[in-house]
Structure 1
Amino acid sequence: MFTRDKPVIFAYHGYPTLIHRLTYRRTNHQNFHVHGYNEEGTTTTPFDMAVLNEIDRFHLAVDAVNRVSRLGSRAEHFGQIIREKLAGHTHYINLHGEDVPEIRNWYWGAAE
């Protein structure tokens, strides 16, 4: 199901240790990278809870890009853009008590 030499990134809405235990004896287990619930967060917005546990779309994208070695400094630049985006997200939540509109109003649309 997975390649022998490529990274696999899981976004698991449970404890990451479960996935690590399930994959421990598999070939390539060292390349399984699991994002999951780490008991981070408090009373906050739904998306912020995902951010605090690093299972949001932004943390997952940075993890994926950082694992593509040929991207080099472009991966670093991308990471900086995402860190700034997340800082803006945190600032907005602290001011307004809700997720930013681009997250709050997002929905699955028809493919174009």
Structure 2
Amino acid sequence: MASNEYTLSHQDVVRAVIIHQGIHEGFWTLNINFDVAAGHGAQASDPCLAVTIKGIGIMRASPADPFAIDAALVNPPAPQRVEGTVHVAAAVNGTHERGVQFCRDVYRNIAVQSAVKAPIKPT
């Protein structure tokens, strides 16, 4: 059963907005805008103050701010596609009639088209 109340910390609110808005960079903190109105009660000697929230959002912050959330950690960008992966997929989706030769061809495509090279031990 769903709860009737969800309480979030200010940092959870910032994380949720960062993810919802698709922000991938920068440091962000909570921003709350208040509206304040002063007045008096039924009798002149009864002062009163009304405070309402106009809006809640996020704003850019300094990396030194202890309440700042790093968007790059919370919502990292999707990895870029490496060119050549389409060719490997095309080779893999080919016919499997040749058995071992098919495996060799796929391995060659991966070895040749891979953007990441295997590390070489220094001699």
TM norm structure 1: 0.28
- Which structure has the bigger radius of gyration? 2
Q: Which protein is richer in strand relative to its size?
A: 2
Q: Which protein is richer in helix relative to its size?
A: 1
TM norm structure 2: 0.26
